[in-house]
């Protein structure tokens, strides 16, 4: 059975939010074209996975739909979302072989329906760790310094406004043992980031950028 990726589910969630805003505007002429445009975008997300959206769309095609009803629809849609494939503890250890005292969170506690990438903060070392499936569908790991300071700003990964912190990755510039630090502001709490991220390429771009 075909399923939606977690980030595609996030796309649909954000499109529904836009739809509700359109339903609440009074300008009926722009309302209709906006509505069609958004419903079509939602349909495209389903169709990209050869999934039928007709039932879902017909429920949404209702100016009187309540926020509560859309939340229920989204909850129901979770059955059609592909779980994030969790690595084993052993696989994670292997990705960070050189790290001493690696604190891996309890992987059983991860909500695989809201996870695009795995990331956790190690506050004792001021670090954030990332584990994700790369474009070749292989696990990749990366870590860097995470500032304890949180500010309101835009996250380089999910592109949404949230509580962000400066993340810095040490990268080797030459064979002479020289390092530079590259980084950007990202969501301090990666659970928030995972629920916001609508395009996995933004994660890949960020990883490339700080490497
Ligand atoms: Zn983010």
Please give the distance, rounded to the nearest whole angstrom, from the Cα atom of residue 120 to the centre of ligand 1.
13
6-80 to CATH, choices 3.40.50.300, 2.20.25.650, 3.30.2350.10, 1.20.1280.250: 1.20.1280.250
Mean pLDDT of the chain: 94
For residue 28, what pLDDT band results from cuts at 50, 70 and 90?
confident
For residue 33, what pLDDT band results from cuts at 50, 70 and 90?
confident
Decide if pLDDT at 31 tops 90.
no
Contact between 178 and 172 under an 8 Å Cβ cutoff? The reply is yes
Residue 118: closest CA among 105, 134, 131: 131
Please give the distance, rounded to the nearest whole angstrom, from the Cα atom of residue 36 to the centre of ligand 1.
29
Please give the distance, rounded to the nearest whole angstrom, from the Cα atom of residue 48 to the centre of ligand 1.
24
Please give the distance, rounded to the nearest whole angstrom, from the Cα atom of residue 59 to the centre of ligand 1.
30
Decide if pLDDT at 185 tops 70.
yes
Please give the distance, rounded to the nearest whole angstrom, from the Cα atom of residue 62 to the centre of ligand 1.
31
Domain boundary assignment for the chain: 6-80, 89-210
Please give the distance, rounded to the nearest whole angstrom, from the Cα atom of residue 17 to the centre of ligand 1.
18
Please give the distance, rounded to the nearest whole angstrom, from the Cα atom of residue 182 to the centre of ligand 1.
17
pLDDT digits (tens, 9 = 90+) for 63-110: 999 999 999 999 999 999 999 999 999 999 999 999 988 999 999 999
Decide if pLDDT at 27 tops 90.
no
More confident residue, 179 or 128: 128
pLDDT of residue 211: 86
How far, in Å, CA of 117 to CA of 7, rounded?
A: 10
Half-sphere exposure at residue 1, Cβ-oriented, CA atoms within 13 angstroms: 7
Q: What is the mean pLDDT of residues 100-127?
A: 94
Percent of the chain scoring above 90 in pLDDT: 86
DSSP assignment of 25-55: -S-HHHHHHHHHHHHHHHHHHHHTTT---HH
pLDDT of residue 174: 58
Please give the distance, rounded to the nearest whole angstrom, from the Cα atom of residue 122 to the centre of ligand 1.
17
């Amino acid at each position: 059975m075909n399923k939606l990726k977690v980030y595609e589910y996030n796309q649909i969630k954000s499109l529904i939010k836009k739809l509700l805003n359109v339903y609440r505007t009074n300008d009926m002429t722009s309302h209709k074209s906006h509505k069609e445009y958004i419903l079509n975008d939602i349909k495209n997300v389903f169709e990209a996975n050869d999934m039928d959206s007709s039932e879902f769309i017909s429920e949404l095609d209702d100016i009187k739909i309540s926020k509560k009803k859309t939340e229920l629809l989204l909850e129901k849609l979770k059955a059609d979302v592909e779980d994030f494939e969790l690595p084993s503890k052993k696989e994670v250890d292997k990705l960070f072989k050189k790290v001493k005292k690696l604190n891996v969170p309890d992987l059983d506690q991860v909500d695989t329906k809201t996870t695009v990438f795995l990331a956790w903060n190690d506050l004792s070392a001021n670090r954030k760790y990332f584990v994700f499936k790369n474009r070749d569908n292989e696990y990749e790991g990366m870590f860097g310094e995470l500032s304890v300071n949180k500010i309101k700003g835009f996250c380089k990964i999910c592109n949404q406004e949230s509580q962000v912190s400066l993340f810095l990755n040490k990268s080797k510039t030459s064979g002479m043992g020289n390092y530079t630090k590259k980084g950007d502001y990202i969501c301090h709490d990666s659970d928030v980031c995972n629920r916001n991220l609508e395009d996995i390429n933004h994660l890949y771009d960020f990883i490339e950028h700080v490497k």
